[in-house]
Structure 1
């Protein structure tokens, strides 16, 4: 299964260099507009499309597929070094500071400061400029440090080159809870499967009648309703 790139590549740099984007980006850098300003709508959309393609539609952090819908409520353009902090604002449009994240991971990450003092004082964002508390999307390889087992069980790989950073990322994002959520969902799916088996048996035995059919369909509908709210 393709869970997205281990180490991201700044392929969206070309989108940021487009002439129609430059004016709005300069206005942001000079403090005239904010990230959510409508002047940056086109830039944000170009970034979404590029990041989504490279990440095969998956969140960089949890690697689960992100639902796509009209208002992009399920996904966020994630700034690894938080743009809300004055010392990182200059990297709001740095290609190596941008990823796509699902909304839950983005909310859990919050405005954590993932750089050290050297990074706060640095004028360049590149390997060696400072240290990072989590795996860096462009400087570290996700798959060399973290393994994901069926059922969305996350673990730091044995002899991971960035074990401390991988551990901190998994713990801070509480990715261990995904296993519990998926386990609950699987239980409901199993119940639906059992109901389908029961219906098939009744049909094969020619024992299906309106009351039984009504009961089975109502049972499946109730489980589907539960799944909608998970």
Structure 2
């Protein structure tokens, strides 16, 4: 401190300017870094929780259409050409697989991966049941097809429907948790930023007071000396 008072006025002003500039740079860099963190957090919220919801909705929609189509295939004994039905089933499965792949890449946690593996087992069981049902219907074994649809296909279908709903619920829960984390990050960043600004203001005021006292001291010394 004594060295500061003993410096020339030009040196004191230069040091004060450099100190204020350094504080401004530090506050600015801190603010930018926190803004980037919040941007990354918002991106995670969208890619891992919000965006997969449209695929899950599409999966549920295709699944319900599949059940209706299979039911029609079994109950309508007047069907002459099965080809349009088989093509539509293949298209639904293809769309379902694409949606499922999009959801899979967003699964990060171990619990989500376990849920996905359980879902795949149920899906394979339902597809196997649906394939057998289609085979019975296209061979016009309607009595056996109806019995199989009301037993095995209905059971595996309900299991798959339950798994899809659980995946939706998990994504909603994860999205809420991520949103809460983002809000806490924003609040914490705001508090730190306000603290940094407050420190900068106080430091600048203290530096201004010291500089004013130093200038006043030199001026009074010259006045009395003169």
Q: TM-score, normalised by structure 1?
A: 0.29
Q: Which has the higher strand share?
A: 1
Q: Which has the higher helix share?
A: 2
Q: TM-score, normalised by structure 2?
A: 0.29
